[in-house]
Chain A
Amino acid sequence: MGQKMELACIIDDDKIYVNLVRKIIEIKKLSENLLIFKNGLEALDYFKIILTNMTEEKLPDIIFLDLNMPVMDGWEFLGEFIKIKNQFDKKITLYVVSSSIDPRDLERAKSFNLVTDYLIKPIELKKFEKIFDRVASVA
């Protein structure tokens, strides 16, 4: 395993899932810190605050974005995030993570340039490690 990632981000309303991913990250020592938002709007607000304060060190290296969430779902978040993303200097890798196996969702996710891949839940531990490893070595 290579170097450890600074900051990972999960946007998901499923508390159990978030808890389990947090455990995986702790056990496997995949990231120093973890940001958790329970819907798209909370995450978007956070990124907007960072933009106004110019504190880029608080930007995550990687985002795991769920699709079905209340208030602002993953699609709407993508639509908003795309508008502000270019104002960050830092490269942010974004994965869509959903339990939906609907091919229409898959197609739609892949149509966004900023989406690196579409991951279907459950993600295997080894896959998690691989993704973190790759992103950390690039960063």
Chain B
Amino acid sequence: MLNDLQLNNILEDFDIAYWKINLLTKEITWSDHFEALVGTPPAEESLFEHFINNVLHKDYRYDYRVAFENLTLGSENLNQEIRLKLKNDKFRWFECRNLKRKDSNNIETAVLLFVNIHQSKRDQYTIEENFFYYRETAEMTTTGGWYIDITTKSIYWDDVTKKILDCPKDFNPDYDKRLQFYASEHQEQANSIFEKCENYGIPFKTELKMVTLYGREFWVQATGKPVYNEEQQIIGIRGVLQNIDENKSNELNLQNSLDIIAAQNSRLFNFAHVVSHNLRSHSSNLSLVVQLLNEAKNSQDKIDLIENVEDISVNLDAAISRLNDMVSHQNLLKKERTLVSFKQSLDIVISSVSSLINRESAKIISEFKALKEISYIPEYLESILLNLITNAIRYKQPGRVPVIFIQTYSVNDQNFMEISDNGIGIDLDQYGDKMFGMYKTFHSNPDAKGIGLFITKNQVETMGGSISVTSTVNIGTTFKIKF
């Protein structure tokens, strides 16, 4: 057994403070080092009471007092982590435990060691705190971690990844089926980035569409980096994936809204331009008449000019009523979608233009078996049918009985309507881009007003669809509407 001096030296050398307690007299002696740490105690107070009240943090007073009494009553163990106030008034973490007695000699003396564990305690807290923040961040941002071990061809997912992918906590991802968690159109891309990372160590950060265990598709941002061993060989890929479905769909919606607004803005611009042009052409004629009236030499000249004023007035009236038509078509926008039957809509249209159909003996054949009805604004569908049918009859091939074939169908959940005629057709190379513009007429037909197809395109697009045209001169024209 070491004597006190030897023990003291060792304890001092290792920066350990201790108490020596005489179990018989309950007398406590502080080592020099302990006193150096917490300061010299006042002579008038008991050392233990001073320690409890002034040195020990109040949270540990009760437990420590109990443990200390047990020790003096012969208990084998005292082992506590406590906080002590040092001379500089700062609290530090210490581990306090008694020196085990190797033999039964000297049982009247106990030694309590105070080991400074502040740094390790703080590290432990930092780790716990970091882990807490990591968990919270992962939960809040739905960011999951994953690791692919290339050497064993196995995959590790953390709980958040499993949650993101609708997998139970005990789910074990199968390396060979890993691509099944990517949307079919993104599997190739996913495979390629993983292979590049595995073979060449190229990290990735990309947006992909994934599929949960239950087949729900959603957008993630996937980030991955290669993991090297000491020989600088790639042994795995580590990364995170974040559910950004909400952001992505917001982004897509925003883009969609932007497109709609841009399209509407351009239509409005076009409309304003047309309005300005149409009204100006009449007002400028009127102005010319006034100028000529001032120059007119005799009353006959003046009377001739007044006739022009009448013509201008009639034309202006017609222009304004055409503009009104257009505006009222736009106003239908406020109406709501309902389930509309193609057959019923067509019947309404046919009866409203029966005189034109009868005059030209036009034949209208319809084929609605594949797609009988659609969720649409009924007035729009009727207007679209009306415009395309009257167009087809108006631009018939002279001498040929106009035949109009109307067909509806759906491909991959996408609904279509095609309206074909055997009319004069149109040279699309020359006029294709202008077909749907306002006031574009391509034939010297006096009936042509040039707003029909503009309105049709407008209505189709307002409902979120698109319209395209194919045509062969002297053979006929087909309009295809994607709803």
Chain A interface (Cβ within 8 Å of chain B)? 14-17, 19-21, 23-24, 27, 39, 68, 70-71, 73, 98-102, 121-125
Contact = CB atoms under 8 A, between A and B. Distances in A.
Given A20-B308, A70-B450, A102-B273, A14 B441 contact: no
Nearest to A12: B281
Interface of B: 273, 276-277, 280-281, 283-285, 287-289, 291-292, 295, 305, 308, 311-312, 315, 439-444, 448, 450
Nearest to A105: B273
A66 to B, nearest CB: 9
A16 B439 contact: no
A100 B288 contact: no
Contacts of B281: 14, 17, 99, 121
A109 to B, nearest CB: 14
A121 B295 contact: no
Given A70-B444, A99-B281, A100-B276, A16 B308 contact: yes
Contact of B295 (A19, A98, A122, A125): A125
A17 B288 contact: yes
B292 A122 contact: no
Contacts of A21: 288
Contacts of A100: 273, 276-277, 280
Given A16-B315, A125-B295, A70 B442 contact: yes
A122 B277 contact: no
Given A27-B295, A70-B444, A100-B277, 5 more contacts: A16-B311, A20-B308, A99-B284, A123-B288, A125-B295
B165 to A, nearest CB: 52
Contact of A70 (B292, B311, B448): B448
A122 B448 contact: no
Contacts of A16: 285, 308, 311-312, 315
Contacts of A71: 441-444
B277 A20 contact: no
B277 A99 contact: yes
Given A70-B444, A70-B448, A102-B273, A17 B285 contact: yes
Nearest to B434: A73
B308 A124 contact: no
B273 to A, nearest CB: 5
Nearest to A73: B440
A19 B273 CA distance: 25
A43 B440 CA distance: 18
B285 A14 contact: yes
A8 B60 CA distance: 111
The 9 A-B residue pairs with the shortest CB-CB distance, nearest first, are: A122-B284, A121-B284, A99-B280, A70-B441, A122-B287, A99-B281, A20-B288, A100-B277, A125-B291
B330 to A, nearest CB: 21
A24 B315 CA distance: 21
Given A16-B312, A27-B292, A70-B448, A101 B276 contact: yes
B445 to A, nearest CB: 8
A45 to B, nearest CB: 12
Contact of B280 (A15, A27, A101): A101
Given A27-B295, A125-B295, A68 B277 contact: yes
Contacts of B276: 100-102
A123 B291 CA distance: 10
A138 B289 CA distance: 30
A23 B289 CA distance: 10
B291 A124 contact: yes
A121 B278 CA distance: 11
Contacts of B443: 70-71
A122 B285 contact: yes
